[in-house]
Structure 1
């Protein structure tokens, strides 16, 4: 038992040192030690997720076509430029771990499509499927699951969940209000993206 505790302490010490090393590397590159805090409210992140589901669907159909053809089929992704912008913003959602996973997975799939390298078609499809499988789990998450912490069955937890749901509904009903807020978030992102 004592050996297990010592191993855990040793592992924690190593992780802390790795974190400090990453901070030193960031500072050496002229960046702040910590990346900027996430800033997209959960209700907006969730709406971005919904708005960009079509990108996931497109990538899934494309992957199936490549699998059926057993070849890497060239595809023009220029029409996804605006979607990529929104998907990048999705990664900045506060308390939206699954939304960040969607963002990273979709952007990784797009990057692979844009630059497949020397992989064979089978490996190409396998990698795309891995990215899409991760994204699918995020797309399956409901807003209530993101806002409700099952470990905190308190009145504050219920109130927070209700507040996020109400804001989500308001933005969903009023597109101009949503777009106005989205514009502010884009401007903020543009001002800090060099600090990532």
Structure 2
């Protein structure tokens, strides 16, 4: 009973984090050795904290809580609640980049699976986050390829290579920075929570 209620709690936390992370842009700061000449300056990483929320719930709540939170997120977004970056509704499945959102489910599950296979160390948590991130990108690229084969796709007129560059390659550096942040936060919180 405790395990089920714990997973439900983490699923709800993951849902809220994913919804909030969708609209929270990730920023970085310039390197410390430049602070004396330039001061502390911020710059956009070109991504939101959405993927960070997906991976964090996997690292803290486990595979089932991670997967369930993302299923709830997709159901909410597809039933007209504007929780996706560009709104919501069933028409979202026609967007060529919808596969990245679908990839949140296996991405969070895989991240949670590996995060709890061993003691919470920086390396194991980083590995689990990277596995989850690459799962999201694999699902997104697969959906892109399928959407280019069939005529249901709507939206921008990009070639398949341009779409892969836009949705995967160009966002990957910022997402890797977010993965580093998630790894450290998950490491600290897992040790505070004693598991």
Normalised TM-score (structure 1): 0.28
Q: For CA contacts below 8 A with separation 6 or more, give which structure has more relative contact order.
A: 1
Larger Rg: 1
Could you say which structure has the higher helix fraction? 1
